[in-house]
């Protein structure tokens, strides 16, 4: 009899630990989703800071340009790492499409495109090349839209 | 005597040479112009996306793109000039009837996934130019894939009733009380670029709700939320400046620095970014002239702090 109880207790313990592990994985995924959304928001903020300057509505500010371009360049390099498998729509509230993980090489290429174009933007900002910077801005923007077109859909 | 004959021969020869050079040119020149104008309309109409199987690596306009709707899955057909698999045997009149009336050359009705409900507004001249362009693309012998339509919609004659309820054929008529740019924008938005096919909510039968023109819907293609693009200040684009809207059309950027994705990403890449500056400004002028309609569809903060 005691053996039966012991067995049941063991099963319960395993189930409990397993349950925690699952819950842990879920909050882990939810956290990763929230973190990457924050990073994407920072990209949006950087583009928003630059827009009035690019349009000529605000005066050219080299320091602000360097700062925003740095944000963009740094986050481009982190994109593959902040989209680990298991953080798709099954894991939480996200607009990331499951096709990211079915076309991983292409997704990485789209992140690479943003890295390349934002590197050029940063170089132009550092060089103080205002005209070149303004001409490069849309090329960076197209890499944002180029990825969102395939891998993000507004569902939430 | 001799010089005269020389001049006569010269004159005849030069007339012949002139005719040889100019006749074919004269016959082709307007045609080439029509093709060029047609290509512009082709981009503005977003024909490429629905008629090309980009995911499967299919050739341009040879069909195969899957379009999922509540009524089933449709496959954009091959519209290259291939005589057997495309529309190579069509006449210009067949094409104009398909676009204006939503009717196949054999008299059957098209499903409204093919946005003829909007294209019907295109002018005859524009439809002829579009036809000239479609004739100029390389033919591709790729067979069409049959639509997978849910019961009972597979029965095309039912479309007679649908069209009777939801479809008003006929070219767009400009409103004389509005500035020309607003009319041009209305023509582009309503007829050619068919923005309303996604941005206007639909009724239970899939007809566009014309009382809520461009007011957005949570039930867009592929389950996307399609935002309200009337100038309502809280729920639409009422706080966007003209420059904000131009950036959206050119680049896909929204005032919060985000970039549209999904089907709108494709519309920006294939369509709005390829419009001329004047046409982009016309679209903006028209959108800003619309009556604002309150309808919250997305969580986006439209009011920059």
Rounded to the nearest angstrom, the minimum Cα separation between B54 and chain A is: 12
Query: Using the beta-carbon criterion (under 8 Å), do B259 and A148 form an inter-chain contact?
Result: yes
Tell me the three-class secondary structure of B226-253, residue by residue.
ECCCCCCCCCCCCCCCHHHHHHHHHHCE
**Per-residue pLDDT at B49:** 94
**Per-residue pLDDT at B206:** 85
* Domain extent for A30: 2-151
Q: Give the H/E segment covering residue B31.
A: helix B2-44
Give the residue from chain B lying closest to A151, CA to CA: B262
C-beta pairs of A31-37 under 8 Å, 24+ apart in sequence: A32/A82, A32/A84, A32/A87, A33/A87, A33/A91, A33/A92, A33/A93, A33/A94, A33/A96, A35/A82, A36/A82, A36/A83, A36/A87, A37/A94
| Structural contact between residues B104 and B110, judged by C-beta atoms closer than 8 angstroms | yes
- Which of B61, B152, B148, B151 has its CA nearest to residue B113? B148
Can you count the helices (H) and strands (E) in chain A?
A: 5, 0
Gyration radius of chain A over CA positions: 22
- Residue A74 pLDDT > 70: yes
The ranges of chain B with pLDDT < 50 are 1-3, 6-7, 9-28, 301-305
**Per-residue pLDDT at B5:** 53
ipTM: 0.84
Token output for B54:
């980009």
Identity of the residue in A46, A149, A156 whose CB atom sits nearest the CB atom of B257 = A46
- Residue A21 pLDDT > 50: no
| Structural contact between residues B263 and B222, judged by C-beta atoms closer than 8 angstroms | yes
- Residue B4 has, within 13 A of its CA and on its CB side, a CA count of 1
Q: How many CB pairs under 8 A join A and B?
A: 76
- Which of A140, A94, A144 has its CA nearest to residue B259? A144
Confidence label for A27 from pLDDT (cuts 50, 70 and 90): low
Is there a domain that residue A156 lies in?
no
- Residue A155 pLDDT > 80: no
- Give the CATH class of B180-289: mainly alpha
Mean of per-residue pLDDT scores for chain A: 87
Selected residue of A89, A153, A154, A156 to mutate for chain B interface (largest B Cβ count, 10 A): A154
Q: Determine what percent of chain A is predicted with pLDDT higher than 70.
A: 82
Residue that wins the pLDDT comparison between A115 and A11: A115
Helix residue ranges per DSSP H, B195-238:
196-199
For residue A109, what is the domain's CATH number? 1.20.120.10
Structurally, chain A folds into a number of domains equal to 1
């Amino acid at each position: 009899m005691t053996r039966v109880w012991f067995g049941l207790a063991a099963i319960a313990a395993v189930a409990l630990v397993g349950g925690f592990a699952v819950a842990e994985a879920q909050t882990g995924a939810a956290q990763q989703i929230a973190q990457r959304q924050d990073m994407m928001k920072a990209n949006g903020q950087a583009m928003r800071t630059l827009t009035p300057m690019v349009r000529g509505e605000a005066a050219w500010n080299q320091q602000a340009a360097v700062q925003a371009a740095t944000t963009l360049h740094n986050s481009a390099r982190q994109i593959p790492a902040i989209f680990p498998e298991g953080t798709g729509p099954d894991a939480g509230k996200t607009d990331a499409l499951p096709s990211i993980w079915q076309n991983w090489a292409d997704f990485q290429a789209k992140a690479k495109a943003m890295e390349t174009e934002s590197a050029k933007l940063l170089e132009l900002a550092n060089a103080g090349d205002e005209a070149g910077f303004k001409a490069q801005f849309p090329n960076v923007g197209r890499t944002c839209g180029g990825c969102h077109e395939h891998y993000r859909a507004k569902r939430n | 005597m001799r010089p005269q004959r020389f001049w006569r021969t010269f004159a005849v020869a030069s007339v012949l040479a002139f005719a040889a050079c100019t006749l074919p040119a004269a016959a082709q020149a307007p045609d080439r112009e029509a093709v060029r104008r047609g290509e512009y309309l082709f981009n503005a109409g977003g024909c490429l996306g629905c008629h090309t199987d980009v995911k499967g690596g299919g050739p341009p306009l040879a069909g195969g793109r899957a379009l999922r709707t509540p009524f089933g899955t449709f496959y954009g057909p091959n519209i290259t000039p291939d005589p057997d698999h495309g529309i190579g045997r069509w006449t210009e009149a067949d094409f104009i009837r398909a676009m204006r009336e939503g009717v196949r050359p054999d008299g059957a009705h098209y499903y409204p996934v093919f946005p003829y409900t909007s294209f019907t507004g295109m002018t005859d001249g524009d439809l002829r130019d579009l036809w000239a362009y479609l004739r100029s693309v390389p033919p591709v012998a790729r067979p069409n894939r049959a639509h997978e339509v849910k019961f009972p919609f597979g029965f095309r004659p039912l479309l007679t009733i649908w069209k009777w309820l939801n479809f008003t054929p006929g070219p767009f008529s400009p409103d004389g009380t509005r500035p020309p740019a607003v009319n041009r924008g209305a023509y582009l938005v309503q007829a050619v670029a068919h923005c309303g096919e996604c941005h206007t909510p639909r009724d239970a039968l899939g007809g566009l709700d014309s009382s809520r023109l461009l007011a957005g819907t949570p039930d867009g293609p592929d389950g996307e939320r399609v935002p309200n693009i009337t100038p309502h200040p809280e729920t639409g684009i009422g706080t966007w400046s003209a420059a904000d809207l131009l950036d959206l059309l050119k680049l896909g950027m929204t005032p919060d620095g985000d970039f549209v994705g999904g089907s709108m990403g494709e519309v920006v890449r294939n369509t709005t970014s390829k419009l001329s500056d004047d046409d982009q400004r016309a679209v903006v002028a028209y959108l800003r002239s619309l009556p604002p309609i309150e309808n919250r569809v997305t969580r986006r903060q439209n009011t920059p702090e």
